[in-house]
Amino acid sequence: MRSTEACTASESRSIEEILYRIASDLSLLADHDIVIKTIEGERLDRRPVGAGGVHISFKMTIRHTGGEAQGCMLLPLAESITLAKYLMMADDDEVEQQRSQQTLDRGAKDAMLELAKFVASAVGSALNELPSVEFEVVSEGCQGVRAGVRPALRYSEGDTMIVGRFQASIAEFPDFEALLILPELPLS
């Protein structure tokens, strides 16, 4: 049976803190504003699927005294390319041209691996500001995820996932929907 329920208050606060930290850190890195517009948190007994087309899963392992599990941030391909190209110091016209690409050049792939490290670092920083246990968050790289496919994570079917669905924008580009997928963590 598929189960969806609302997050606890501490889970909702944690999702918000993490997403705002990621947006802040990546805005500085990309030298363009990343704005989080809406956030909805939920608890699922399955890994969710990103809406629409191909996504990039920025994977991470989260360790704490109770164990370790994987999570990810799932961004649409166009937004992942946008951030990678901005990291490579591309101008707005080049970014606009590259956003519709379905394959990545070597430089963009390397930049996405760097983005994965920054995302994991931002998640770790945000988690360690919470009044709970100490966390270590390690990047596990990134992976393309086809439309309609759940991201690959070390995960046992039926385990609870904490999911933050959010609407955001990068620079002047259109709004997009993305996901922050976390294992159940000791957050309070």
pTM: 0.92
pLDDT at 1 over 50: no
Task: Please tell me the distance from the alpha carbon of residue 140 to that of residue 129, in angstroms, as a whole number.
Answer: 22
- Span 139-160, average pLDDT: 90
pLDDT, the chain, mean: 91
Task: Please tell me the distance from the alpha carbon of residue 97 to that of residue 135, in angstroms, as a whole number.
Answer: 39
Encoded tokens for 188: 């309070």
The pLDDT value recorded for residue 124 is 94
Domains in the chain, CATH or no CATH each: 4-78+114-183 (3.40.1550.10)
pLDDT at 27 over 50: yes
Segment 70-87, tens digit of pLDDT: 999 999 999 999 999 999
* Of 101, 59, 60, residue with least CA distance to 81: 101
Roughly how many angstroms between the first and final C-alpha of the chain, as a whole number?
28
Q: What is the DSSP letter of 152?
A: P
Segment 86-143, tens digit of pLDDT: 999 999 999 999 998 888 889 999 999 999 999 999 999 999 887 767 899 999 999 9
Q: Where are the alpha helices (DSSP H) in the chain?
A: 9-30, 77-87, 92-98, 106-127
